[in-house]
Structure 1
Amino acid sequence: MNLVCNHSEARSFGSLDVIPVSKKFHPPFTLKKFEVRLKRGRRNTKGENEVVVLQLKSAVHGYRKELDFLRFIRVVSIWKKTFGTPLVLSGRSLVYVAADSLILQAESTNQINIPAYIRYLGSTVGIEDLTLKDYIFLHDVMVKAIQCKGSNISVSVLPGTTFSQIFIDKQFSLCTDISSEQIQYSQALEPFNQCRNYIVLVKICFKRYLTLLETNVCRNNSLDYIAPDWSRVVLNPVVDGTDYINATWLPGYTGEKEFILSQHPSPTTVSQFWEMILQTGSKLIVCLSVIPQQFWPVPQTPLVFQGLSIWLESEGSMGGYRSHQVSMERAGKTTTVELVLCPNWPHQSVPVSNCVHLVDCVNKKIPTGPVVVVDSYGATEAGIFSVLSSLVRQMDTEATVDVFYWFKAINLSRPGIWISPDNIVFVYRVLSELCSIHRN
């Protein structure tokens, strides 16, 4: 989300006026721009000066703290090159300086020595404020930096880059690695929320099995893809006695909750789906699934669930894709959401870069609320869409792409979403073709 700041928020510091210009939100940080000017009547040969402030945010539940810190360092590095001026640090400045320097050392010499650098840092600036907790965090950051070395790639070299199978397999392994202690499924695995009609014997947490009775109410199309507790969408008020729906919040380029990844609504979950749309304030639904079950209303036949009326307002297209304008009304309040249909995306895209057309269409009109992306199980296709949406915008604004970061971040929110290294290969192919097109 981007905000244009009001000049009335300007503040004065002695002979200087500091005027906020803009504020942009990203999952690990906030980017603010200011203009610094001398007060009127004072001579200023340099005119006004632009200042950029990058503020690191706390990682969500701590699951991505090392990953987010690395992304923050890389973004700051881009701005350092842009301005070519000294960097002013505050907060955990020693940890930042140490991590930034050690990353550069690892990239140039292919080796690091954390204790030696800390001793050197202590001899030059003093490290009294560096705690044992900071040192452990620095070590963990460097482990992550070494693991994902080479994943942040400039768009200028991406088209000519060849990725070995060893590199792809390693990235896939690291992106999908997650400890069972980090992710809990207490609500998804409640018997009341289990699936009826789709499967009888399902695999749970990869090692435990549960026989499900056909009398159980359907909440999950497949237990291979379910919503963990910390990132699931919580219905409030509850629907049909539960706050659970198999839908997950996903980070995007400009927000921690930019996307909602959802399975295709079944006849027994369609009421929860539309309640989620209303409660989260979503204005855009992208449906990629090939399941023939229609979950939106047909002309002149509204859907009604617990006082919520849903009807088809109009039919049209968005960028060549079939779309519907759907209105919802409850207690006299009406809201409209756009539903875009693109079944079997991205499998029919030839060349593969054509699949970015849908991503571009959605990126151009990302609303204030989250974009709900639907596929059959709330799985790989929807995940690839959200990854490409973020990477295309990163490519345009930072001139780099970090496939590892987005694959890892989304897998933490929706474990098991990536099924093979081919998922990473596909995204690299799309981005490489896209860079070639832009360069030509």
Structure 2
Amino acid sequence: MYTYKVYNLEVKLDTRATQLRILHFTNWSKRGKPMNPIHLTSFLQCLQTIPHSSKHPILVHDAGGYANCASVIVLVDICLREAERDGQVDIFHQLQLLHSQRSNIMDNVEDYLLVHLILVKYLATPQYVYPCNVFNSILTGIDDATVTQQMKMISDSLWQESVLRPEGSVLYYNKRDKNRDQDIIPHPSCCVFLRPLYEKESCYINAIFVDGYQQSKQFIVTQHPLTNTVDDFWRMVVDNNVKLVISLQPEYDVEFWNNGGDFLTPNGTSIEHLEIAELPDFHMHTLFVKPNGTPIKKIEINLIEVVGWKVEHAVPIDLRVLMSTRLQMNRTKCKEFNSIVVMCRNGASACGLYIAACNLLDSMESEQVVDVCTSVRNIRNYRSQFVTDQAQFHALYKLASLFLDDFRKYSNFEAVITTTKRTKI
């Protein structure tokens, strides 16, 4: 997976030949903005190395038609070069100059806000990014004081993400009796809706969509079912065509399936346990789900239960279980990019650590940097209770070190990150 790709081409026409460099940003979602705006930083760093020249203009185009993303890139690039040259930024003035050439180059407030957000992230937000090839030598210096500082930075900057957060659907109904923790409830902008049954409140479940490193809505995060939400849980699985469920702390106080037998929900949905594969770090179950009162045939579901992660523990005893579970998840997940259900007791404590770990390791493989802050910050936008424990923050750094140790057995990370200058404005 990549945040952006670079292509170096030679284009020939008759006797003429020219060298062409293509920068392809791959992380712009169909919702009209980057899935994670902070991922634009490395792309913009690369773009800044290309000098502006009237003889060799930079062509910026939007192949997908996603809400003026080309104009956002152009305006941000101009402003960054202004900051580098003059030590200040005048976004409105630069936009006026662009409008004098094309009046509709940026015609909505959301894109204008996005430009400000990207510039704040690039110029004014501290970056704690460590190249993979030197990370283990830096790890000893990441102490409690450093982690506290980084966690405070994340908390202080969460307002930036809320600027572009949609208000959510008017169909949102919070039913308190369906929440384990009344402080952990879905935000309307990312909550999962069920197909309503007999009353409008029947569409509610305590679950949210969370973006992965490169896949929109890769995860559905939810709590362990309550007595009155067992049917809701399986409706959610069926409604969203889920093929994989990951249970991180499988200590259930309510039965919602039967290990080794069949199970019937209160509303008549049948859950058939087909087989189990027991591995050291997790148990892999194959289930058949048959909804009641629908023409849907049996649906095959894979359920991964992580072994040994107790509810009272903020982190698993062996962090390698996060790596092995992620590896199995990537082997098992459906090719159609269906959402993956990730669940723990309260839908926050263990789920947040696991998803942050997945995004962290994905970014390490793609960008060859360790960026725990970005991995945590991106998911805190969906649920404020994700990774608020200092032990979990430390665990992510330790996990990165373990991942690098294992990776070096087979390959080597190359030094691809250069020192980035920050312009004070």
More relative contact order, 1 or 2 (CA 8 Å, 6+ apart): 2
How far residue 188 of structure 1 moved from its aligned partner, in angstroms, is 6.8
Of 261, 277, 282, the match for 1:316: 277
Distance 1:261 1:115, change over 3 A: same
- Measure how far apart 1:308 and its partner are: 2.9
Name the structure 1 match of 2:328. 361
Deviation, 1:385, is 0.8
Change beyond 3 A, Cα 1:87–1:387: farther
Change (3 A) 1:79 1:324: farther
In 2: Cα distance, 1:165 partner to 1:30 partner: 29
1:336 is matched with 300
Q: Could you tell me which runs of 5 or more consecutive residues in structure 2 were left unpaired when the two chains were aligned.
A: 50-55, 62-67, 410-425
Aligned positions of 1:362-377 closer than 5 A? 362-367=329-334, 368=336, 369-377=338-346
Change (3 A) 1:75 1:387: farther
1:283-342: CA deviation from partner (whole Å, max 9, x where unpaired)? 111111253333212434332454532211112235641121110124361211111111
* Alignment correspondent of 2:191: 232
- Aligned identity (percent) is 18
Question: Equivalent residue for 1:278?
Answer: 238
Distance of 2:331 and 2:16 partners within structure 1? 40
Task: Work out which of the residue numbers 126, 132, 136 in structure 2 matches 1:149.
Answer: 126
Tell me if structure 1 keeps the 8 A contact 2:82–2:88: no
Separation of aligned partners in 2, 1:101 and 1:156: 32
Aligned counterpart in structure 2 of residue 407 of structure 1, from 376, 380, 397: 376
SS in 2 for 1:156: helix
Distance 1:127 1:136 in 2: 21
- How far 1:427 sits from its partner (Å)? 1.5
Partner of 1:333, secondary structure, is coil
**Using the alignment, how far apart are the partners of 1:224 and 1:149 within structure 2?**
30
- Where 2:133 maps in the other structure, the secondary structure is coil
Q: Deviations over 1:189-237 (max 9, x none)?
A: 64xx212xxxxxxxxxxxxxxxxxxxxxxx1111121111121111114
In the aligned structure 2, how far is the partner of 1:256 from the partner of 1:30? 16
Q: Which residue of 1 aligns with 2:215?
A: 255
Task: Name the residue aligned to 1:297.
Answer: 258
CA distance in 1, matches of 2:101, 2:361: 40
Aligned counterpart for 1:53 among listed residues 24, 33, 37 = 24
- What does the per-residue CA deviation read over 1:224-271, in whole Å, with 9 as the maximum and x for residues that have no partner? 211111211111143776101111111012311110101001121111
Contact kept in structure 2, 1:234 and 1:245, CA below 8 Å: yes
Q: Which residue among 108, 116, 129 is the counterpart of 1:139?
A: 116
The answer as to whether partners of 2:281 and 2:324 remain within 8 angstroms in 1 is no
Q: Which of 176, 179, 197 matches 1:220?
A: 179
1:416 to 1:309, Cα distance in 2 relative to 1, 3 A: same
Higher mean C-alpha deviation, range 390-399 or range 130-139: 130-139
Alpha-carbon distance between aligned partners in 1 of 2:352 and 2:162, rounded to the nearest angstrom: 20
- Secondary structure of the equivalent of 2:203? strand
User: Which amino acid letter does the alignment assign opposite residue 24 of structure 2?
Assistant: V
Question: CA, structure 1 residues 262+67, in 2 after alignment: closer, same or farther (shift >3 Å)?
Answer: closer
Q: Which has the higher strand share?
A: 1
Q: Which amino acid aligns with 1:113?
A: Q
Q: CA deviation at 1:358?
A: 1.9
| Paired AA for residue 230 in structure 1 | S
1:372-404 C-alpha deviation (Å, 9 max, x unpaired): 111001002111111211221221122124333
Distance apart, 1:174 and its partner CA: 3.2
Q: Cα gap change, 1:53/1:433 in structure 2, threshold over 3 Å: closer, same or farther?
A: same
Q: Which stretch shows the higher mean deviation, 249-258 or 161-170?
A: 161-170
Tell whether the 8 Å contact from 2:150 to 2:373 is kept in structure 1 after alignment.
Answer: no
TM-score (norm 1): 0.69
1:327 to 277, 282, 288: 288
Query: Structure 1 residues 409 and 320, CA, compared in 2 at 3 Å: closer, same or farther?
Result: closer
1:115-150 deviation digits (Å, cap 9, x = unpaired): 39977x969xx8766769676643332223345332
Q: Return closer, same or farther for 1:79/1:242 CA change in 2, 3 Å cut-off.
A: same
Alignment of 1:200-215 (within 5 A): none
- Offset of residue 282 of structure 1: 1.0
Change (3 A) 1:416 1:362: same
What is the root-mean-square deviation of aligned Cα atoms in Å? 4.5
Relative distance call for 1:417 and 1:187 in structure 2 (3 A) is farther
What amino acid is aligned across from residue 152 of structure 2 in structure 1?
Answer: K
Shift of 1:102: 5.9
C-alpha displacement of 1:69: 3.5
Runs of 5+ consecutive residues of structure 1 not aligned to the other structure: 1-23, 196-218
Equivalent residue runs for 1:339-354 within 5 Å: 339-342=303-306, 343-344=308-309, 347-350=315-318, 352-353=319-320
Aligned length: 377
User: Is the 1:285–1:340 Cα contact (8 Å) retained in structure 2?
Assistant: yes
User: Structure 1 residues 334 and 87, CA, compared in 2 at 3 Å: closer, same or farther?
Assistant: farther
The match for 1:99 is 76
Residues 271 and 348 (structure 1), Cα distance of their counterparts in 2 relative to 1, 3 Å cut? same
Question: Equivalent of 2:156, from 166, 174, 178?
Answer: 174
The answer on 1:71 being equivalent to 2:53 is no
Give the structure 2 partner of residue 213 of structure 1.
none
Give, in whole Å, the separation in 2 of the partners of 1:396 and 1:287.
25
